[in-house]
């Protein structure tokens, strides 16, 4: 006898399979790298990882994690304000703030948590938050949560449309605090937020600007300091959230970088931090070592940019039409979800792991395979992947 929940979800799962939208997990038997060992398949080129700088298995990053395990043990065994916080967390937070160019930062168990914490903690019922239409799911849910917790007003502006944002800010004159939130790099498009215009508009309306730089930290700017560095605006963004789970070692964790007062207020009041354990010391130490590696090796960021440029140019040469851009996120739009999943399956059969994304992760009819390039892909890796794209593209009559 199944309960009502099991009764409801079992046919839904079967429908996912019939629709071709069911996600099958691929298991890896080796660390994240340009090439990995995939269970049941052998060596595969990964073209869908956020390991942008290849630091997930960088020897100094792994060694730092092991050393922290010896020094601090497995974890804090409670939340930070109750049980104490490790000195490695303080060192990490200083490094995060230094990297992105803010006076202070506070780490969280994930950037998802950081994005939940910012509006829900900092806003009140007198306030407003306006979010870009294509923001990451964690921002969307953070805004929903803030509305439920604080009764703040919420709004969405058309993607990248500063005229729409201007109108919505003008209409919200009576709101005490106005907060605007955007991805720095939009994860499904690879597009970069129009930061100079956003800063100017927010200043004019005395609004607080929050930028989620999860796909920009370690990626954009000459030294990988993010969207602000890309535009020569380091120090000009009010609040930056970012992840430690992508370019900065790829383990897990996130942070909010902001003024000392905002960081302190979040330390006092942010529920995902007050009622949940801190990052494991292994992760804090590996993340710190990743930031130190990045600071010492800006040429890794230049290599990433060069690899992304090469791959995008070659895809165009083959006749694909990737979304235009200059980040290592290179989506090829295919239309229906099943088409994206089919292409990704065929590429995997050729030894190239690229994920297909469909509705509701991206808008209906805009399913895509999303390539993500790493600084550690060799020319041989990229050329082999391009040969697979040529073969599958012809098979599917895309080129
Ligand atoms: C733009 C953006 N923000 C936040 C997150 C969440 O990061 P985390 O894995 O640290 O929770 C992601 C992860 O996919 C992301 O792409």
pLDDT in tens, 64-123: 999 999 999 999 899 999 988 999 999 999 999 999 999 999 999 999 999 999 999 999
Say if CB 189 and CB 325 are below 8 A apart.
yes
278-289 residue pLDDT tens? 999 999 999 999
Active site residue 215: yes
Rounded-to-integer distance, Cα 196 and Cα 201, Å? 9
- Looking at residue 1, its pLDDT comes to 64
| String of DSSP letters for 74-115 | S--SS-HHHH---HHHHHHHHHHHHHHT-SEEEEES-HHHHH
Residue 351's contacts (CB-CB under 8 Å, 6 or more residues apart) are 41, 42, 43, 44, 45, 384, 388
In a 13 Å sphere around the CA of 267, the CA atoms on its Cβ side amount to 19
Q: Which of 176, 171, 198, 195 is nearest to 185 (CA)?
A: 195
pLDDT of residue 16: 87
The single residue of 48, 107, 187, 287 carrying the catalytic annotation is: 187
Residue identifier of the C-alpha nearest atom 16 of ligand 1: 187
Q: Ligand 1: does its nearest atom lie under 6 Å from the Cβ of 110? A: yes
* Burial environment of residue 379 by CB neighbours within 10 A (0 to 12, 13 to 18, 19 or more): exposed
Nearest ligand 1 atom, CA 244: 10
Given the CA of residue 185, which atom of ligand 1 is nearest to it? Answer: 1
- CB distance 272 to ligand 1 below 6 Å: no
Q: What percent of the chain has pLDDT over 90?
A: 89
Task: Determine the pLDDT at residue 2.
Answer: 82
Q: Is 183 in the pocket of ligand 1 (CB under 6 A)?
A: yes
For residue 13, the model assigns a pLDDT of: 96
Low-confidence ranges of the chain (pLDDT < 70): 1
Asked if residue 334 lies in contact with residue 362, where contact means CB atoms within 8 angstroms, the answer is no
Interior/surface letters 94-112, b for 16+ CB within 10 angstroms, e for the rest: ebbbebbbbebbbbbbbbb
SS3 (DSSP) at 252 = coil
Q: Mean pLDDT over all residues of the chain? A: 96
The pLDDT value recorded for residue 295 is 98
| Residue 204 CB neighbours (<10 A) | 11
- pLDDT on residue 29: 96
């Amino acid at each position: 006898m199944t309960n009502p929940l099991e009764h409801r979800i079992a046919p839904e799962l079967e429908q996912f399979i019939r629709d071709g939208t069911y996600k099958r997990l691929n298991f890896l038997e080796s660390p994240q790298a340009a090439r990995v060992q995939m269970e049941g398949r052998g060596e595969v080129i990964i073209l869908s990882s956020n390991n942008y700088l290849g630091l997930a298995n960088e020897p100094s990053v792994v060694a730092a994690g092991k050393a922290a395990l010896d020094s601090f043990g497995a974890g804090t065994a409670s939340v930070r304000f109750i049980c104490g916080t490790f000195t490695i967390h303080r060192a990490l937070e200083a490094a995060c703030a230094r990297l992105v160019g803010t006076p202070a930062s506070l780490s969280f168990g994930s950037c998802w948590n950081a994005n939940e914490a910012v509006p829900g903690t900092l806003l009140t019922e007198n306030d407003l938050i306006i979010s870009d239409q294509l923001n990451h799911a964690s921002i969307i849910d953070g805004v929903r949560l803030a509305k439920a917790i604080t009764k703040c007003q919420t709004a969405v502006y058309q993607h990248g449309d500063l005229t729409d944002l201007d109108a919505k800010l003008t209409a919200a004159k009576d709101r005490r605090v106005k907060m605007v939130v955007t991805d720095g790099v939009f994860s499904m498009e690879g597009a970069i937020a129009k930061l100079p215009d956003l800063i100017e508009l927010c200043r004019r309306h005395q609004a607080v600007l929050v930028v989620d730089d999860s796909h920009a930290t370690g990626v954009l700017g000459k030294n990988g300091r993010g969207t602000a560095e890309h535009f020569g605006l380091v120090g000009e963004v009010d609040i930056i959230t970012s992840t430690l789970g992508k370019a900065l070692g790829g383990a897990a964790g996130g942070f909010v970088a902001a003024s000392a007062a905002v960081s302190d207020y979040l330390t006092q009041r942010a529920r995902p931090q007050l009622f949940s354990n801190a990052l494991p010391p292994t992760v804090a130490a590996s993340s710190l070592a990743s930031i130190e590696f990045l600071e010492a090796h800006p040429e890794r960021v230049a290599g990433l940019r060069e690899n992304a440029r090469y791959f995008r140019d070659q895809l165009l040469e083959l006749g694909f039409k990737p979304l235009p851009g200059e980040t290592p996120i290179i989506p090829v739009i295919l239309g229906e979800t099943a088409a994206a999943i089919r292409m990704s399956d065929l590429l995997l059969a050729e030894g190239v792991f690229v994920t297909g994304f469909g509705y509701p992760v991206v808008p209906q009819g805009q399913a895509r395979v999303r390539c993500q390039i790493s600084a550690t892909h060799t020319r041989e890796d990229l050329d082999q992947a391009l040969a697979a794209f040529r073969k599958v593209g012809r098979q599917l009559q895309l080129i």
